[in-house]
Structure 1
């Protein structure tokens, strides 16, 4: 465990890049071998806008990375934050608690707020208007959302008190889980259900991408499923009933245009308050 801790304390940027590329490649191949849905699309063409937003996310996170490093060093030097105020614990539990709490602030809470605050929902729409959810959808975030997500993570670092090694480990796990849960792969329902008791499983997250409420406003987690279960935002539906997208934003042509997606947060839109879904 100490080896892992030390590795992520100084993880090279090249290794982080390889993790991103390797994850996309692995799940891309698995989608061809064991697809959940057989989409009628040109896979590469569908991936273009998603890769564009992946690039903008990388650029923004790289540009703001010094803030994460400074914050993580500050909380460590000043013994600040939840995990530093608790009694001394084994390294493995210190790491686990740090990642668990960062998952709450950086993923669950950020995601929940984006769905409940209208201007933020308008920004987050870019992620939800993908009509063919696959592993490339994972990083389909408007540049404004990348800044929002970064801000929540930065807040989490201060509150939780995580050193840079735990921050880097959390971000690596977050990346892999996001690629995994968005991937268009078919696990057995039993295995998927078992995974969902502890972690976010592919089926569990894809329910969140169903085109109608109340399913859209459920299953906000990224790594651990405990937060959805604890706060009552967990929902289940059969995978066969899934329809991706947003019911009041149905124009698939616009939803695959980079230009239109960049403008999407600024278009008039009223989020429905009640679904007719049975």
Structure 2
């Protein structure tokens, strides 16, 4: 555990980029070999849109990273945050509690709020317009949503009192987890079910991408599945019944055109769009 702390305390930016690219590459190869759904689509066109949006997320996080660093350093220097107020404990338990809490605020809570707040939903909607969910869909976020999610991550670091090594570890696990649970991969149902008791499994997250309510408003987690189970937002749906996309934007010119995707938050809402 000390080696992990040491590594993530000084992890080079190049290593973080390599993890992101390696994750997409590995899951891309796996989903080509063992697909959950046999899509008939222009995969490179679809990937180019999602990768562009992924790059905007990386750029935004890069330029705002100093805020995370200053927040983490401030919590340690001022003995502020949940972790700082807990009694001494084994390092592995300290890390697990911190990761769970960061996942609660930086992934589950922001995701829930985006679905329940009309203004924020307009930005998050871009992620749900994808009708071909695969590993490239993981970071299909409007630049505005990237700022929103960064804000909640910073809030999580402040409230949890996370040291910077834990923030880097959380972000790394978060990237790999979202690439995994979005990947168009088929794994045995029993294995997926077992995984879903601990982490957000592919079948569990795919339910969230079903095109209509109430399934769209379920399974908000990213790394750990405990929060959905604890707060009653966990749902299941046979994969044979899942239809990707969002019912308010069913046309290709709405969900498969980069220019339109960037404009969606500022367009007049559809009459059927939820508030």
Match status 1:210 vs 2:202: no
Match of 1:153 in 2: 153
Match status 1:43 vs 2:38: no
Q: Distance in 2 between matches of 1:271 and 1:60?
A: 32
Q: 1:195 to 1:270 in 2, by over 3 A?
A: farther
- The count of corresponding residues between Structure 1 and Structure 2 is 274
What are the superposed Cα offsets for residues 167-214 of structure 1, whole Å, 9 maximum, x if unpaired? 000000000000000000001110000000010000000100000000
CA deviation after TM superposition for structure 1 residue 42, in Å: 1.4
- Do the aligned residues in 1 keep the contact of 2:253 with 2:260 (CA within 8 Å)? no
Q: Distance in 1 between matches of 2:219 and 2:272?
A: 18
Match of 2:221 in 1: 221
Q: Distance in 1 between matches of 2:43 and 2:190?
A: 28
Match of 1:166 in 2: 166
Match status 1:269 vs 2:274: no
- Do the aligned residues in 2 keep the contact of 1:5 with 1:165 (CA within 8 Å)? yes
Q: Distance in 2 between matches of 1:159 and 1:75?
A: 9
- Do the aligned residues in 2 keep the contact of 1:131 with 1:252 (CA within 8 Å)? no
SS in 2 for 1:224: coil
Unmatched tracts of structure 2, length 5 or more: none
Match of 2:185 in 1: 185
Q: Distance in 2 between matches of 1:122 and 1:175?
A: 23
What are the superposed Cα offsets for residues 151-182 of structure 1, whole Å, 9 maximum, x if unpaired? 00000001000000000000000000000000
CA deviation after TM superposition for structure 1 residue 252, in Å: 1.8
SS in 2 for 1:155: helix
Q: Distance in 2 between matches of 1:114 and 1:137?
A: 18
Q: Distance in 2 between matches of 1:48 and 1:116?
A: 29
Q: Distance in 2 between matches of 1:75 and 1:178?
A: 27
SS in 1 for 2:213: coil
Q: Distance in 1 between matches of 2:187 and 2:76?
A: 41
CA deviation after TM superposition for structure 1 residue 251, in Å: 1.1
CA deviation after TM superposition for structure 1 residue 269, in Å: 2.5
SS in 2 for 1:253: helix
Q: More deviation in 74-83 or 141-150?
A: 74-83
Structure 2 length as normaliser, TM-score? 0.98
Match of 2:243 in 1: 243
Q: How does 1:79-228 map to 2 (within 5 A)?
A: 79-228=79-228
CA deviation after TM superposition for structure 1 residue 271, in Å: 5.2
Q: Distance in 2 between matches of 1:270 and 1:19?
A: 41
The ranges of structure 1 where at least 4 consecutive aligned residues each deviate by more than 3 angstroms after the TM superposition are 270-273
CA deviation after TM superposition for structure 1 residue 254, in Å: 2.5
Q: Distance in 2 between matches of 1:49 and 1:43?
A: 10
Q: Distance in 2 between matches of 1:254 and 1:214?
A: 22
Match status 1:252 vs 2:252: yes
Q: 1:270 to 1:172 in 2, by over 3 A?
A: farther
Q: Distance in 2 between matches of 1:23 and 1:82?
A: 31
Q: Distance in 1 between matches of 2:266 and 2:48?
A: 22
Q: Distance in 2 between matches of 1:244 and 1:185?
A: 15
